[in-house]
Structure formats: structure tokens, C-alpha cells
Amino acid sequence: MTKDHPGNGKNQLSTDTSISAVAELPEKQPGISSHEEDNAGAVVFLFPPPGRKPWSLSRIWLACKLCLLDFFAPAHDSGARDKRVEMLLDRHEASSNLLEARYSRQKLWYLEVVAVHPSLQSRGLGGGVMRWILEHVHDDPLYLECTREENVGFYESFGFRVAEKVELVDGASQTGEHVFKHWVMVHPGNSIL
């Protein structure tokens, strides 16, 4: 499933299989699928630039269903958590706007999720998925928000660089125990920095 820059209120949704990568263990070549493997070891949510994927009847139907679901049964948590999510989405949108000002919005991809099943980590599966992603976006710029400091080096090894370090502090606590950190990282593609 894909949406155009999550968090900005202009969500476009799709079930295109071309945005999901299922990579096999390193001795085999990564493939593209959302149906071939029931037990995929990795998952990717890769959002193309606006207008890259044409609307189809199935995409319109899915978007309508999701809008109705959000309207009639919105997901809410406690007020404090809603506030944190709102802060995070506002920060995400600000970071997106900065990157869109630097790189062409018509070429800027967003990598929301790359996850490898814990039992399959440290076997090269994540690297295979990243190679597939970089090949898939060709030479277009790509950005992500890394939420684990220990993963920053992994992304840097594929040519990403930290564009911004973000720290969101829960207003109730200034002690640092409720600080959410993430690193906005960008792979410039063939863009000139």
C-alpha cells in the first residue's frame, strides 16, 4: 500500500505490487511481490513521488473505503498519545517540505518502512532489500526517517546521509526519559547537493 507523503493530509492510496519488495536470502536475487511469499522475511513501504502512479478504479475504490473508515471509525488513543502523534506528523511534514525545497518534489521518493524479521537479521536480507530499493528508484532522490541510532550506519553504507536529527520531547518530562529521536536521512540519487 502506498500514500503520497504520509501525514500531510493529501493521502493517495494504492495496492500496486511494484512498491512492495520481498527479498530472499542473499544467495538469491531479490524479487518484487506482495503475494508470492506468505512468510516474507522483509517488508518495505516505498512511496513514489506525486503523480508517478496513475489512478485506477481499484485505487479510487480503496481510497474511498479508507476515507470512509477514517471518518466513521477514526483511530484515537489517549490525549497524550494523540498529541505526540500530532507533534511527530508536524515534524515529518516540516522535514518533507525542507527536502522538497532542495530536491524536485516530482522525483523525491519516501521510504517509510524497511523491516526484516528478527530471526532473519544479520544475514544480508536488509542489504538485499536496500539494493533493490535503490535500483527501483533509479537515480531519483530518496529520504527516510531512521528511528534507531544503531541503524544510521547501515543506511550510510548505502549512500544516505543525515540531513537532520530530530528530538521530540514530551512536554510533561524534560528529563530525557520521554525523548523520541529520529534521523532524517537522504540519498541524493544523481542530484547535485
The predicted-structure confidence for 154-182, as pLDDT tens digits, reads as follows 999 999 999 888 877 766 555 556 677 88
- Reduced to 3 states (helix: H, G, I; strand: E, B; else coil), residue 178 is coil
- Give me 170's grid cell: 514530551
Q: What's the burial of 182, exposed, middle or buried (CB within 10 Å: 0-12/13-18/19+)?
A: buried
CATH number corresponding to 17-187: 3.40.630.30
At residue 130, does pLDDT exceed 90? yes
- Most distant CA atoms of the chain, gap in Å: 51
Contacts of 116 (CB under 8 A, 6+ apart): 41, 42, 125, 126, 129
How many residues are recorded in the chain?
193
β-strands 179-187, 142-146 pairing: antiparallel
Model confidence band, residue 50 (pLDDT cutoffs 50, 70, 90): confident
- Give me 44's grid cell: 518495505
pLDDT digits (tens, 9 = 90+) for 82-107: 666 677 777 777 777 777 777 776 78
Q: How many CA atoms lie within 13 A of 77 on its CB side?
A: 7
Which candidate, 27, 19, 64, 61, places its Cα nearest to that of 43?
A: 19
Angstrom distance (rounded) from CA 178 to CA 171: 9
Angstrom distance (rounded) from CA 14 to CA 128: 24
First to last CA, the chain: 30
Q: Which residue has the higher pLDDT, 38 or 116?
A: 116
